[in-house]
Chains A and B, each alone.
Chain A
């Protein structure tokens, strides 16, 4: 419940960003405050070293952070679900091939792979989504495959086969609907990871330089020496926002898992 409220709050802020803060405040040219002003009435969260309002940056940053989180997760879910269902359903050498491919992605440390991919592909929002999407699907694929293995042995799948159903029909009408709850619960947990990954990559300077996300703000703050100059108001807002959003997604994910997975109930 608390998770949902926090999430709702951030979603509204992200959607209403243009109403809450003037986007001109994002560009160094349009900056109106002094350099590293501490929080005041005009700038509730102070300003950065270019005189931009940290509040404005954080509000607009929520858009990019959440957007990358959602799209990267969607991509990762699609890849994971397709590979998981195909491997589980067809079995045999195809399953072996696909699962070894998945294992390969699973054992490669995420960060180096993401950094390499991001630097090869170039710094753009789309590439960040792509990088996170193609590095975070293996867990989903394994989970979906396991569930597919169990669903495909159920008598109603056999009945549908006796009905004259082909593979496509069986997968879309009988397997997917029964695997979907699991994919859905997993999605929410992956969103949290995707947002953290976006922050990490942006903090390392691999994000889209033209768009401000929470990770980018932290990168600016780090490079601008926020810590040594005592500008806590520059680090704290994006940091707290990330912690809260990730926490909220994780809480929702566990809650959903409990609803969808009867074995976890009343423990």
Chain B
């Protein structure tokens, strides 16, 4: 627990700091906790990767950061963006902060554009909403610049969304996200619907832009291998909670939480014949958020579960890779043989 306090301390002055964020969705059978007490920070110019299976609460976090969840969702905790709490600010201020300080590249580029408006008009829309005085020519010039910055010819502004390919549409979405010079970019699975080649292009574009513009970037995906290449730090989520956090490479190479072993083990090592015969990965399904297992929510699927796991909900322990992990194996009292690195 000391560790967790240290983490709170270390965060002062960061671009985004999320404190104890919880989200509950109402349902017929009572509230469903989607995110349970998540704490993390993103510094200026830093890339944080958020990894986890579907349903672990990644996208819910992305939406909660700009208060885009449905109005009946119960959100508690703090989301400090440049020191201001997004969750409690007035609606007018919220509208001004949206896109201007933090913008989102949404999951489905296919559907995130209005099919009946030209691409350029939709990019200008963002500029117009925040700088009402912008005239047509300024707007067009800016759209052209933005499109060229993401590697699309400026004349594409006159196209309708259906005239662009999936990759081009995702580029246009990135251009839109940059329209108001935000300091923080939230990329919610921006490459899931794209094929591998295009995915690689979009990723390198994001990285390039991030470096050039010194953006804080939160990159959400289930694909841990993508995160390793892109991110400075990775946070692994399970059942609405961050279970491991630390430097990107270290987490991939020497994960401390058994869940992260499973995640990093589930990627095929190309050219390794051993792997073909025995692919790694996790047995079982993610737990139903309404009926979470007692103690550590991962214990029913955990290959290394031992006696205290079903009863004790693990706090964050410092791990050898310099980050933290929520696993009782790291507790020197419960597991005196010491943590497996």
The contact sample of 11 A-B pairs, CB cut-off 8 A, is A158-B106, A158-B112, A159-B104, A159-B106, A164-B99, A165-B95, A166-B95, A173-B117, A177-B117, A178-B114, A178-B116
- Our pick among A158, A162, A166, A178 for the contact of B99 (Cβ within 8 Å) is A162
- Our pick among A155, A166, A173 for the contact of B125 (Cβ within 8 Å) is A173
Q: How many residues of B contact A (CB 8 A)?
A: 26
A121 within 8 A of B: no
B108 within 8 A of A: yes
- Our pick among B115, B116, B117, B126 for the contact of A163 (Cβ within 8 Å) is B126
With contacts A155-B111, A155-B112, A178-B114 taken as known, whether A164 is within 8 angstroms of B98 at the C-beta atoms is yes
Q: How far is the CA of A159 from the CA of B108 in the complex (A)?
A: 11
Q: How far is the CA of A162 from the CA of B98 in the complex (A)?
A: 6
By a beta-carbon cutoff of 8 Å, the part of chain B in contact with chain A is 66, 68, 95-100, 103-104, 106-108, 111-117, 122, 125-126, 129-130, 176
Q: How far is the CA of A164 from the CA of B96 in the complex (A)?
A: 6
Instruction: Find residues 239-257 in chain A having any chain B CB closer than 8 Å to their own CB.
Output: none
Please state if A177 and B114 are interface contacts (CB–CB under 8 Å).
yes
- With a cutoff of 8 Å between Cβ atoms, the chain A residues found around residue B111 in the complex are 154-156
- With a cutoff of 8 Å between Cβ atoms, the chain A residues found around residue B66 in the complex are 162
Please state if A174 and B68 are interface contacts (CB–CB under 8 Å).
no
The 8 closest A-B pairs by CB, nearest first: A164-B98, A155-B111, A164-B95, A156-B114, A155-B112, A159-B112, A163-B126, A163-B99
**Nearest chain B CB to A51's CB is how many angstroms away?**
57
- With a cutoff of 8 Å between Cβ atoms, the chain A residues found around residue B99 in the complex are 162-164
A94 within 8 A of B: no
- With a cutoff of 8 Å between Cβ atoms, the chain A residues found around residue B114 in the complex are 156, 160, 173-174, 177-178
**Nearest chain A CB to B227's CB is how many angstroms away?**
23
Q: With a 10 A CB-CB cut-off, give which of A161, A164, A169, A173 has the most chain B CB atoms.
A: A164
Q: With a 10 A CB-CB cut-off, give which of A154, A158, A163, A178 has the most chain B CB atoms.
A: A163
